[in-house]
Chains A and B, each alone.
Chain A
Amino acid sequence: MNTSARQFKEQATLLTQDLRHRQLIQTAIGKYEVVRDRVRSRYQDWNAARQAAAEIKWEAVNHLDEHLTRFATQLEARGAKVHWASTGAQAREIITNLLREKQARSIIKSKAMTSEEIHLNAALEQAGFEVVESDLGEFIVQLRKEPPYHIVFPAMHLTRHQISELFTRELGSAPTADPEELTLIARRVLRQKYVRADVGFTGANFAIAETGMISITENEGNARLTAALPQVMVTLLGIEKILPRLEDLALFLPMLATVGAGQGLTCYNSFYGGPRRPGEPDGPEEYHVVLLDNRRTELLADAEQRDSLHCIRCGGCLNVCPIYRNVGGHSYGTTYSGPVGSVITPHLRGLLEWKHLSYASSLCGACTDICPVKIDLHHHLLQNRRNASASKPSRLERLAFKVFAYVINRPGCYALVKKVGRMAQRLHPLVKGSRLDPAYAWTKTRDLPPIAKQTFKEYWSSRK
């Protein structure tokens, strides 16, 4: 077992036993589920909307070269600068050089999973810049020096008491158990950072090819301030964020809000198409957009799983996943957790190192059902299992299937095995849960249902 797999297993084992943690997650997701279902029930035809969204993303991703070119051309026509980065290292270098060139000192950031993906904060801090996350949840996890727990709700795993202690320790504020008070503390601290920041950094939820705009979905207003106050604005986004037309947002914005947060529309959905225009009173003088590949083109090359690039990062599949809800976001050890993270991480970071995530699933298909762009998530997990075992077959597994095939093809032999199995099961309690048990890995936490006293065939022939 490799390091990532071992860590996943250890963390998952710890957290599934942590009842307090599970309770916290169940409560948070429980609240979300109620509002999500209420908002979704208002749609006249949710499934038709999903199918249309899937087809629009299909069109975008399957003509990605044309749309990206158009996006860049349109943005540049309005005075923005578009940068292209094949790897995370290149993106970090582009951004660091830009900040140096601008003689920037402090950077205010609004939430961007792509920046987590390329570990941007660490690189910028190492280069001597002050980087402050402005989304409340991201601000909290940044103070705790840990990655976001969830792609939409970064601090879902923390109680208000933990956050109060954190603020007291890191910001010197008085302890309080009032979420409103805590929010105010963060607001006050961050306002000062906004006024001083030289550069505003954002991610993007969508990139509109036709008009050359990025779209940011948020609730707090931190991204709006990030895009309004500093003199330089930088946006980092994955190349798959493309939508062909501006009107597509009439569908994607409400669907993202519905599945992502249980809202009809989030508080602010803002489109930015360049630096301040002539006649406009504010906004950055310079606007830079960094387009990131970072092995997305490898995922694109896998036609079978290409639709996983349709993902709009709503986090819906995390919320419904029985595995995520029990092992939590940090156990995965990946930027993108939950079902979609388990599907794409092996492509982005190496199949053999991350194939264990393909088994972090009950294959119940809840992820596929909730996905607003109809990504066939649970089948992709199976395909990753198949691909992993084809590239590095397990000898034990092969042997097991050979034995199984031998037995099942010989009715007499199969009947005998059943009889022996039934007798052996009576002796099983003697070794169950101990190392002597040949099925220890399975039986240490599970019961095997008793084999029926009579097979169906035996019952059928005896019933006359």
Chain B
Amino acid sequence: MTEREKILGRIREALSVAAPRPGGAHAESTPAAASVMAQSSTPRSWLPKVGEGYAERLELFRQQSSDLKTELRVVASTGGFRDELRRLRESDGWKKIGAHAGTLVKGAIADLGLPVCWTDSGYKVEELENCDAGITECDALVAQTGSVLITSRSAGGRALSVLPPHHVVLARRSQLLADLPEAFALIRQRYGTDYPSFISFVTGPSRTGDIERILVLGAHGPRKLTILLSEE
């Protein structure tokens, strides 16, 4: 008998005695979760509230970004990405950037005049590590939590968005979602038949509180997270 069969056997034997439902004697009358979670509207009524409409979502996303120390810049059109990147190049003294061949990224960095480490078909770790910023697209922004949803397909692999000291995200207005249930619905709709090997919610720049619970940014990942949002 394999260990797999032994473990599954022990589990089945253990489960032959039923356990009481959660909440015990003080259980509140809530419908069974299995049916609840099927429709994404119910967790929505428990989680932190998100307003209706783009303006309210943007306001919440702005508030969350500021709390998280994410830099959010809203530009009128995707053409505005170029100006913002030039500004960052100057203010932060960028010498080299990492990027992937997404439509938004290619357009935004075309005239930046910096050497680029493209990650799409493999790269040297040392080279990417020496880049001053990693510029990626994303799948969505989440107003509720101030998060950026990325995958290995939408953001140039696993490392581009975490290895360089600055992660710059390019996003469009239509990508700003209300909350986590909506983001999970998007993941299923977009990738449900073939998931990427890596999916991540990025919520602010890398941080740690491991020394006396004092917040320090840039623990292992990027010290800076900039989100450029085009209202187009």
Which residues of chain A have a CB within 8 Å of any CB of chain B? Answer: 24, 27-28, 31-32, 42-49, 51-59, 61-65, 68-69, 72, 78, 84-86, 90, 134-137, 140, 153-156, 158-160, 163, 179-180, 182-184, 187, 190-191, 195, 211, 213, 219-222, 224-225, 227-229, 239, 244-251, 253-254, 261, 263-277, 279-283, 291, 293, 297-298, 300-301, 303-304, 306-307, 310, 373-374, 376, 379
A55 and chain B: residue at smallest CB distance: B33
Q: Is the CB of B163 within 8 A of A43?
A: no
Total contacts A-B at CB 8 Å = 324
Chain A residues whose CB sits within 8 angstroms of the CB of B17 once the complex forms = 301, 303
Q: Is the CB of B221 within 8 A of A267?
A: yes
Write the nearest CB–CB distance from B205 to chain A, whole angstroms: 7
B22 within 8 A of A: yes
* Overall SS of chain A's interface: helix
Q: How far is B220's CA from A24's CA once the two chains are assembled, in angstroms?
A: 25
Chain B residues whose CB sits within 8 angstroms of the CB of A220 once the complex forms = 206-208, 219-221
**Beta-carbon contacts under 8 Å, B18-35 to A:** 18-24, 27-28, 30, 32-34
Q: Is the CB of A153 within 8 A of B213?
A: yes
Stretch with Cβ within 8 A of A (4 or more), from B6-14, B80-88, B89-97: B6-14
Q: Is the CB of B218 within 8 A of A187?
A: yes
A292 and chain B: residue at smallest CB distance: B7
**Beta-carbon contacts under 8 Å, B179-232 to A:** 179-181, 183-185, 187-188, 195-214, 216, 218-222
Q: How far is B157's CA from A276's CA once the two chains are assembled, in angstroms?
A: 9
Q: Is the CB of B159 within 8 A of A228?
A: yes
B123 within 8 A of A: yes
B211 and chain A: residue at smallest CB distance: A179
Write the nearest CB–CB distance from B107 to chain A, whole angstroms: 20
Chain B residues whose CB sits within 8 angstroms of the CB of A229 once the complex forms = 125, 159, 163
Q: How far is B181's CA from A152's CA once the two chains are assembled, in angstroms?
A: 26
A-B contact pairs, 17 of them (CB 8 A): A44-B48, A52-B37, A56-B37, A160-B211, A219-B206, A219-B219, A224-B162, A225-B159, A229-B163, A248-B37, A251-B46, A273-B196, A277-B196, A277-B197, A280-B198, A301-B14, A306-B19
Q: Is the CB of A68 within 8 A of B8?
A: yes
Q: Is the CB of B47 within 8 A of A43?
A: yes
Q: How far is B17's CA from A61's CA once the two chains are assembled, in angstroms?
A: 13
Q: Is the CB of B219 within 8 A of A54?
A: no
A281 partner, pick from B2, B120, B204, B216, beta carbons under 8 A:
B120
Q: Is the CB of A54 within 8 A of B23?
A: yes
Q: Is the CB of A221 within 8 A of B222?
A: yes
Q: Is the CB of A211 within 8 A of B195?
A: yes
B15 partner, pick from A62, A135, A160, beta carbons under 8 A:
A62
Chain B residues whose CB sits within 8 angstroms of the CB of A58 once the complex forms = 19, 21-22, 33
Chain B residues whose CB sits within 8 angstroms of the CB of A24 once the complex forms = 212
Q: How far is B211's CA from A184's CA once the two chains are assembled, in angstroms?
A: 12
Q: Is the CB of B211 within 8 A of A222?
A: no
A134 partner, pick from B47, B184, B220, beta carbons under 8 A:
B220
The 7 A-B residue pairs with the shortest CB-CB distance in the complex, in nearest-first order: A221-B221, A55-B33, A54-B22, A220-B219, A228-B158, A301-B14, A137-B210
Stretch with Cβ within 8 A of A (4 or more), from B71-79, B108-116, B145-153, B168-176: B145-153
Q: How far is B187's CA from A31's CA once the two chains are assembled, in angstroms?
A: 35
A293 and chain B: residue at smallest CB distance: B7
Q: Is the CB of B200 within 8 A of A254?
A: no
What 9 additional pairs, Cβ within 8 angstroms, besides A68-B11, A264-B203? Answer: A44-B49, A54-B23, A55-B21, A64-B11, A229-B159, A250-B179, A283-B158, A291-B7, A304-B19
Q: Is the CB of B199 within 8 A of A271?
A: yes
Write the nearest CB–CB distance from A304 to chain B, whole angstroms: 8
B205 and chain A: residue at smallest CB distance: A267
Q: How far is B126's CA from A327's CA once the two chains are assembled, in angstroms?
A: 46
Q: Is the CB of A55 within 8 A of B30?
A: yes
A49 and chain B: residue at smallest CB distance: B46
Q: A281-B121, A283-B158 are in contact. Are A52 and B18 (CB under 8 A)?
A: no
B45 and chain A: residue at smallest CB distance: A44
Q: A84-B7, A282-B119 are in contact. Are A307 and B156 (CB under 8 A)?
A: no
Q: Is the CB of B152 within 8 A of A225?
A: no
Write the nearest CB–CB distance from A343 to chain B, whole angstroms: 15
Q: Is the CB of B220 within 8 A of A187?
A: yes
Q: Is the CB of A78 within 8 A of B197?
A: yes
Q: Is the CB of A303 within 8 A of B18?
A: yes
Write the nearest CB–CB distance from A270 to chain B, whole angstroms: 4
Q: A51-B30, A220-B221 are in contact. Are A182 and B211 (CB under 8 A)?
A: yes
Q: How far is B10's CA from A139's CA once the two chains are assembled, in angstroms?
A: 36
Chain A residues whose CB sits within 8 angstroms of the CB of B183 once the complex forms = 250
Q: Is the CB of B211 within 8 A of A271?
A: no
Q: Is the CB of B180 within 8 A of A254?
A: yes
Q: Is the CB of A247 within 8 A of B40?
A: yes
B122 within 8 A of A: yes
Write the nearest CB–CB distance from B96 to chain A, whole angstroms: 17
Residue with the highest number of chain A CB atoms closer than 10 Å, among B23, B197, B212: B197
Chain B residues whose CB sits within 8 angstroms of the CB of A191 once the complex forms = 129
Write the nearest CB–CB distance from A67 to chain B, whole angstroms: 10
Q: How far is B167's CA from A343's CA once the two chains are assembled, in angstroms?
A: 43
Q: Is the CB of A179 within 8 A of B214?
A: yes
B212 partner, pick from A86, A179, A265, A276, beta carbons under 8 A:
A179
Q: A32-B213, A227-B158, A306-B19 are in contact. Are A136 and B208 (CB under 8 A)?
A: yes
Chain B residues whose CB sits within 8 angstroms of the CB of A272 once the complex forms = 197-198
Write the nearest CB–CB distance from B209 to chain A, whole angstroms: 7
Chain B residues whose CB sits within 8 angstroms of the CB of A297 once the complex forms = 7, 10-11, 14
Q: Is the CB of B30 within 8 A of A270?
A: no
Residue with the highest number of chain B CB atoms closer than 10 Å, among A136, A184, A190: A136
